[in-house]
């Protein structure tokens, strides 16, 4: 076999390997959140301030929360794009300052108070609109059986007023399954 013939075969071989089928250009369909999802897990991490009798200035605090007593479903309707939450869960929140536990509190969360209104889904984002506010979350995973989203809703108006504790920022991670 001469050198020219070998080079020609190599060029044809490489050209053949470089070809793509037309199917490669078709984007995969985007999964939709439409349908009913059951809450499996909720995590909270946040920061804020606490007013303490011994200090004239508020002290920084952290919040760590884990959901418990899950009995909540989200129903995403398609026409119109309405979201309804059925049931509730409990957030067990621990507040700490400088690594010292300041206490914990169980906060019952009524689903309809948190997730009622409309929804929209764009690439990688899930937005809820209702109760005079709009909250966007990043979709971490969306398959036929799993929906995980996380984000930082504005909770600055939320506080444990009776304990002098205020929330500055918080991030949530929600895990749902079908």
pTM: 0.76
Distance CA 161, CA 163 (A): 5
* Percent of the chain clearing pLDDT 90 (strictly above): 43
Residue 49 has pLDDT above 80, yes or no: yes
Stretch (H or E) spanning 34: none
Distance CA 160, CA 170 (A): 14
* Owner of token pair 């809703």: 153
**Average pLDDT, integer, range 148-175:** 78
Distance CA 135, CA 112 (A): 15
β-strand partners of 64: 45, 94
- Residue 166's pLDDT band (cuts 50, 70, 90): confident
**Average pLDDT, integer, range 3-11:** 38
Residue 120 has pLDDT above 50, yes or no: yes
**Average pLDDT, integer, range 81-89:** 94
Tokens read off for 175: 């895990």
Residue 29 has pLDDT above 90, yes or no: no
**DSSP string for 105-134:** EEEEEEHHHHSEEEEEEETTEEEEEETTEE
């Amino acid at each position: 076999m001469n050198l020219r013939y070998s080079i020609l075969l190599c060029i044809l071989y490489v050209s053949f390997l470089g070809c793509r089928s037309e199917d490669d250009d078709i984007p995969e369909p985007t999964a939709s959140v439409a349908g009913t999802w059951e809450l499996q897990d909720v995590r909270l991490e946040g920061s804020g301030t606490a007013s303490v009798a011994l200090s004239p200035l508020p002290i920084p605090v952290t919040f760590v929360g884990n959901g418990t007593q899950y009995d909540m479903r989200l129903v995403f309707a398609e026409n119109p794009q309405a979201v309804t939450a059925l049931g509730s869960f409990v957030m067990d929140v621990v507040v700490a300052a400088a690594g010292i536990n300041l206490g914990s509190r169980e906060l019952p969360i009524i689903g309809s108070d948190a997730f009622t209104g409309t929804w929209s889904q764009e690439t990688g984002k899930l937005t809820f609109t209702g109760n005079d506010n709009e909250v966007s979350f990043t979709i971490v995973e969306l398959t036929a059986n799993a929906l995980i989203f996380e984000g930082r809703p504005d909770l600055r108006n939320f506080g444990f007023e009776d304990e002098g504790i205020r929330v500055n920022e918080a991030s949530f991670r929600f895990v749902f399954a079908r």
